[in-house]
């Protein structure tokens, strides 16, 4: 049975968690996410991705029941490595991934959202890393990605207290880009994905790579920016974009 659904409409891939009641991130869910993002990487018709959850929640965390089956620390670390590798594939996607969050994004669910490039949350949703309440720590990248978005001090407060944030609080910290109603959530995420899907795919990919490099706080990003700036200048899409601006019309990018 598919626990993660996948479809493509007008250049936008929709990846939907469908594991009721909480869309818990079991090993099987991780495997299916990994497979679907392989398709995202390879399918040139896909220009953007919307990731969301069916039912009451985006994803309420890892599958805690699976933890009871783990026999030793090596196996537990292997479980964490699976989560880290899957979320790294999402974070490094050459097509932007938009998380549409409703209900709850807790624990592994928030770590999944943190791996996405843009986050939109519904009013009333809760976001947090409650692992310390279980005698655990975040293991799918949360301790590394959260500080990049909200700063070290605030990230430590949220992790050490296990206190969840409201959608509005998350937006005020820069953790969430936009807050909307639950009824309009998927519509707003799709609208944003459709805007991005009209851009030249190479320029979108290069922008994603360059912004990721900004976390390193070195000159590498500036050097790569110059390299990529020269690269896109030679492309047909650049010529089309400039000519469309001159002609006062919308550009039609082909990816060439």
| pLDDT tens column, 5-35 | 999 999 999 999 999 899 999 999 999 999 9
pLDDT confidence band for 1 (50 / 70 / 90):
low
Per-residue pLDDT, averaged over 70-86, amounts to: 83
**Which has more pLDDT, 144 or 66?**
144
Neighbours of 25 (CB within 10 A): 28
In the chain, where the domains are located: 4-197, 201-247
Which residue of the set 38, 75, 111, 188 is catalytic?
111
Q: Model pTM?
A: 0.93
Bigger pLDDT: 64 vs 10: 10
User: Averaged over 109-129, what is the pLDDT?
Assistant: 98
75 in catalytic set: no
Task: Give the C-alpha distances (Å, rounded to integers) separating 188 from 41, 124, 164.
Answer: 24, 16, 24
Catalytic member of 3, 9, 66, 131: 131
Q: How far is CA 243 from the centre of its chain?
A: 33
> Would you call 123 a catalytic residue per the annotation?
no
What value does the mean pLDDT of the chain take? 93
Rounded average pLDDT over 31-48: 97
Residues 6+ apart with CB under 8 A from 238: 200, 232
List b or e across 184-218, with b for residues whose CB sees 16 or more CB atoms inside 10 angstroms.
ebbebbbebbbebbebbbbbbbbbbebeebeeeee
Query: 118 is written with which tokens?
Result: 């843009």
Helix (H) or strand (E) holding 69: none
Arithmetic mean of pLDDT, 206-215: 93
- Helix, coil or strand: residue 46: coil
User: What is the pLDDT, as a whole number, of residue 164?
Assistant: 97
What's the mean pLDDT in 54-71?
83
Fold classified for 4-197: 2-enoyl-CoA Hydratase; Chain A, domain 1 (3.90.226)
Q: Stretch 186-203: mean pLDDT, rounded?
A: 97
Secondary structure element (H or E) that encloses residue 118, with its range: strand 118-122
Beta bridge partners of 62: 25
């Amino acid at each position: 049975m598919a626990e993660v659904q996948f479809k493509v409409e007008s250049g936008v891939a929709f990846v939907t968690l469908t594991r009721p009641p909480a869309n818990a991130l079991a090993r099987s869910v991780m495997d299916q996410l990994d497979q679907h993002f392989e398709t995202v990487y390879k399918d040139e018709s896909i220009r953007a991705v919307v990731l969301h959850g069916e039912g009451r929640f985006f994803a309420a965390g890892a599958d805690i029941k699976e933890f009871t089956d783990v026999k030793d620390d090596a196996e537990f670390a292997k479980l964490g490595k699976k989560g880290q590798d899957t979320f790294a594939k999402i974070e490094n996607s050459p097509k932007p991934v938009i998380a549409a969050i409703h209900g709850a994004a807790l624990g592994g669910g928030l770590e999944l959202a943190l791996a996405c490039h843009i986050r939109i949350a519904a009013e009333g949703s809760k976001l947090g890393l409650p692992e310390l309440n279980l005698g655990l720590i975040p293991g799918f990248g949360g301790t590394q990605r959260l500080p990049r978005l909200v700063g070290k001090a605030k990230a430590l407060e949220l992790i050490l207290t296990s206190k969840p944030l409201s959608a509005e609080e998350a937006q005020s910290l820069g953790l969430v880009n936009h807050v909307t109603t639950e009824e309009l959530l998927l519509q707003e995420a799709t609208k944003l994905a459709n805007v991005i899907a009209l851009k030249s795919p190479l320029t979108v990919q290069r922008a994603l790579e360059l912004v990721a490099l900004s976390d390193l706080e070195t000159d590498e990003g500036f050097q790569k920016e110059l390299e990529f700036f020269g690269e896109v200048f030679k492309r047909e899409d650049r010529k089309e974009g400039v000519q469309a601006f001159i002609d006062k019309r919308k550009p039609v990018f082909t990816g060439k």
